[in-house]
C-alpha cells in the first residue's frame, strides 16, 4: 500500500482507539513505541496468519498498521510474479485464493527488507526451509526482536533433535515462543471459530503480546508456559495424521481410526516427555494437543495424501502425490516421521514407539500401507 494511504489508515485507527479509549497504554500520537510485525512465510497458513495479524495491527494502537509478509518468489502461469499478484489483488492467488488479506499486508520477496524494521517476527514456513532462512537472517534483524514460530516440525542434528523454536533462538540469538493448535488454515480464512495455544518460556508479558497479536473473536488464543510441549504436539500429530490417512485409504472405518489416534496420542506424550521431562500433561488437553490431533486426522493435508498413498498401494510416491494434490503446498508428516525415526533408532527407542516407527517404514516404502492394519491389531490387543 502507498505510504500516504497507510498514514491515512493510521490516523483512522488513532481516532477509533481514542474514541473507544481501549487497548493502548501509549499516546495515540506516539508511533515510536509501536511494535512492528513481519511474517516470514506466505503459504496457506502463512497467508491466513498474516490476515489475522493484520486485522489486529490495524485495530490496535500498540502496533504499526503495516504487516510485511515475506514471499518465496515464484512466477505464476500467467507470467506475473506471485508478490506482484498479491500486492495487486490483496489475495495470495496461489496459496489462499479468494481471501482478502487486508490492505495493510505488504508482500515482499526480499527477506532482509521484510525483517529490517520489525521487532516481532512471525515464522511460518514449511520446517525444512527454516534453517536456511534463519542463517540468511543472521545480523539482519533488530537487536530487540522477538520471535514466534507457527512451524510444525523439527530438525535432527548430530547432537540430537532440535525444535524449530530452538533453531531460531540458537541461530538468531532471540527468544522464541510458539503458536500451535487445531488450525486448518482454510477454515480460519473464512473466519470459522477455532482455538490456538501459545507456548512461552518465562515471560508472561511476552506471551500476552503474542496473544494480543493473534486473538480475534473467531480465533481464541490461550497461553501456556510449555514451549516444548506445545511445539512437540504440533509436530508429532502430523505423523499420527499419516497413520489416520492410511487407515482411511484402506477403508478400515472410524473405530480403527479412533484407536490409531488414541495410540498416537499416547506415543506423542511419551516421546515428548522422554525428550523434555518438563513437558506438562495438561498441554495435551489444550488446542495444540488433542484438538489439533483430531482436526488433522479428520481434515488435514497429511491425512489426505496418506489416504491416496494407501489407496494406490504405495505405488505412487509421497513426493508425486504431494505435487499433484497440493500444488505447491508442503506436507510436514513424511519428513517428520523420518526425523522421529532417526531419533528413535539413535536412542534405542524403536520398540517403545511402534506407531511412529511403522508410519515411517510405510511412508518410506519399506512396508506396504496394509502394515498399519497388523500394527493396530497387535497394539490394540496388547492393552
Ligand X SMILES: O=C(CO)COP(=O)(O)O
Ligand Y SMILES: NC(=O)C1=CN([C@@H]2O[C@H](COP(=O)(O)OP(=O)(O)OC[C@H]3O[C@@H](n4cnc5c(N)ncnc54)[C@H](O)[C@@H]3O)[C@@H](O)[C@H]2O)C=CC1
Instruction: Number of residues interacting with ligand X: please give it, by CB under 6 A.
Output: 13
| Choices 100-108, 143-151, 181-189, 337-345 (CB under 6 A): range interacting with ligand X | 181-189
Q: What mask of x and - would describe binding to ligand Y in positions 6 to 45, judged by CB under 6 A? A: -----------------------------------xxxxx
DSSP 55-97: HHHHH-TTEEEEEEEE----B-TTS-BHHHHHHHHSSBTTTBT
Nearest-angstrom CA–CA distance, 218 and 288: 16
Nearest-angstrom CA–CA distance, 158 and 343: 10
Answer yes or no: are the C-beta atoms of 301 and 334 closer than 8 Å: no
- Residue in 102, 300, 314, 369 binding ligand X, rule: CB under 6 A: 300
Q: Which does 46 bind (CB under 5 to 8 A by kind): ligand X, ligand Y, none?
A: ligand Y
Q: Which does 141 bind (CB under 5 to 8 A by kind): ligand X, ligand Y, none?
A: none
What are residue 141's phi and psi, to 5 degrees? Answer: -105, 165
Q: What mask of x and - would describe binding to ligand X in positions 97 to 136, judged by CB under 6 A? A: ----------------------------------------
Using CB under 6 A as the binding rule, whether residue 152 contacts ligand Y is answered as yes
Nearest-angstrom CA–CA distance, 94 and 74: 10
- Residue in 182, 232, 233, 306 binding ligand X, rule: CB under 6 A: 182
129 among the known binding-site residues? yes
- Residue in 40, 154, 184, 221 binding ligand X, rule: CB under 6 A: 184
Nearest-angstrom CA–CA distance, 89 and 92: 8
Query: Least distance to ligand Y from the beta carbon of 68, Å?
Result: 15
User: Own/partner pairs for 6-9, CB < 8 Å, 24+ apart?
Assistant: 6/65, 6/66, 6/104, 9/58, 9/65, 9/103, 9/104
Q: Which of 237, 257, 304, 311 is catalytic?
A: 237
44 among the known binding-site residues? yes
Using CB under 6 A as the binding rule, whether residue 163 contacts ligand Y is answered as no
Q: Which does 286 bind (CB under 5 to 8 A by kind): ligand X, ligand Y, none?
A: none
- Residue in 13, 34, 51, 127 binding ligand Y, rule: CB under 6 A: 127
Answer yes or no: are the C-beta atoms of 215 and 147 closer than 8 Å: no
Beta-strand pair 154-157/160-163: antiparallel
311 is an active site residue: no
- Residue in 10, 47, 183, 197 binding ligand X, rule: CB under 6 A: 183
| Choices 4-12, 122-130, 246-254, 262-270 (CB under 6 A): range interacting with ligand Y | 122-130
Helix (H, G, I), strand (E, B) or coil at 102: coil
Q: Which does 114 bind (CB under 5 to 8 A by kind): ligand Y, ligand X, none?
A: none
Using CB under 6 A as the binding rule, whether residue 301 contacts ligand X is answered as yes
Per-residue b/e over 30-56, b at no fewer than 16 CB within 10 Å?
eeeebbbbbbbbbbbbbbbbbbbbbbb
Full 3-state SS string of 155-223: EEECCEEEEHHHHHHHHHCCCEEEEECCCCHHHHHCCCCEEEEEECCCCHHHHHHHHHHHCECCEEEEE
Between 85 and 130, CB nearer to ligand X:
130
Beta-strand pair 194-199/154-157: unpaired
Between 150 and 211, CB nearer to ligand Y:
150
Residue ranges of the annotated binding site for NAD(+) are 41-46, 129, 185, 301, 330, 332
Q: Which residues bind ligand Y (CB under 6 A)?
A: 41-46, 72, 95, 124-127, 129, 150-153, 183-185, 329-330, 332
Q: Which residues bind ligand X (CB under 6 A)?
A: 152, 182-184, 238, 241, 292, 295-296, 300-302, 332
Amino acid at each position: 500500500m502507498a505510504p500516504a494511504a497507510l498514514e491515512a489508515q493510521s490516523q483512522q485507527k488513532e481516532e477509533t482507539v481514542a474514541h473507544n479509549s481501549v487497548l493502548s497504554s501509549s499516546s495515540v500520537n506516539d508511533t515510536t513505541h509501536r511494535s512492528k510485525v513481519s511474517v516470514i512465510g506466505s503459504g496457506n497458513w502463512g497467508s491466513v496468519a498474516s490476515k489475522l495479524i493484520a486485522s489486529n495491527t490495524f485495530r490496535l494502537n500498540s502496533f504499526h498498521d503495516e504487516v510485511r509478509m515475506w514471499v518465496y518468489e515464484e512466477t505464476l502461469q500467467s507470467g506475473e510474479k506471485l508478490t506482484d499478484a498479491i500486492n495487486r489483488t490483496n489475495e495470495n492467488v496461489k496459496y489462499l485464493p479468494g481471501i482478502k488479506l487486508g490492505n495493510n499486508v505488504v508482500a515482499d520477496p526480499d527477506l532482509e527488507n521484510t525483517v529490517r524494521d520489525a521487532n516481532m517476527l512471525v515464522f511460518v514456513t514449511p520446517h525444512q526451509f527454516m534453517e536456511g532462512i534463519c542463517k540468511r537472517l543472521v545480523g539482519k534483524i533488530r537487536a530487540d526482536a522477538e520471535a514466534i514460530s507457527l512451524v510444525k516440525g523439527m530438525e535432527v542434528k548430530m547432537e540430537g533433535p532440535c525444535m524449530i523454536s530452538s533453531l531460531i533462538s540458537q541461530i538468531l540469538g532471540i527468544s522464541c515462543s510458539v503458536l500451535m493448535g487445531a488450525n486448518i488454515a482454510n477454515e480460519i480464512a473464512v473466519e470459522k471459530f477455532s482455538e490456538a495455544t501459545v507456548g512461552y518460556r518465562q515471560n508472561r508479558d511476552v506471551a500476552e503480546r503474542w496473544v494480543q497479536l493473534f486473538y480475534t473473536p473467531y480465533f481464541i488464543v490461550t497461553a501456556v508456559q510449555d514451549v516444548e510441549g506445545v511445539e512437540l504436539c504440533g509436530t508429532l500429530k502430523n505423523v499420527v495424521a499419516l497413520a489416520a490417512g492410511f487407515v482411511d485409504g484402506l477403508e478400515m472405518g472410524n473405530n480403527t481410526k479412533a484407536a490409531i489416534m488414541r495410540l498416537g496420542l499416547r506415543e506423542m506424550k511419551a516421546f515428548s516427555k522422554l525428550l523434555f521431562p518438563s513437558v506438562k500433561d495438561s498441554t495435551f488437553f489444550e488446542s495444540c494437543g488433542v484438538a489439533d490431533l483430531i482436526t488433522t486426522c479428520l481434515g488435514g493435508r497429511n491425512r489426505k495424501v496418506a489416504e491416496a498413498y494407501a489407496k494406490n498401494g504405495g505405488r505412487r510416491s509421497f513426493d508425486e502425490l504431494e505435487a499433484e494434490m497440493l500444488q505447491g503446498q508442503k506436507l510436514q508428516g513424511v519428513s517428520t516421521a523420518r526425523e522421529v525415526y532417526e531419533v528413535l533408532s539413535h536412542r534405542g527407542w524403536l520398540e517403545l514407539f511402534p506407531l511412529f516407527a511403522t508410519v515411517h517404514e510405510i511412508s518410506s516404502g519399506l512396508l506396504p500401507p496394509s502394515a498399519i492394519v497388523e500394527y493396530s491389531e497387535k497394539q490394540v490387543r496388547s492393552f
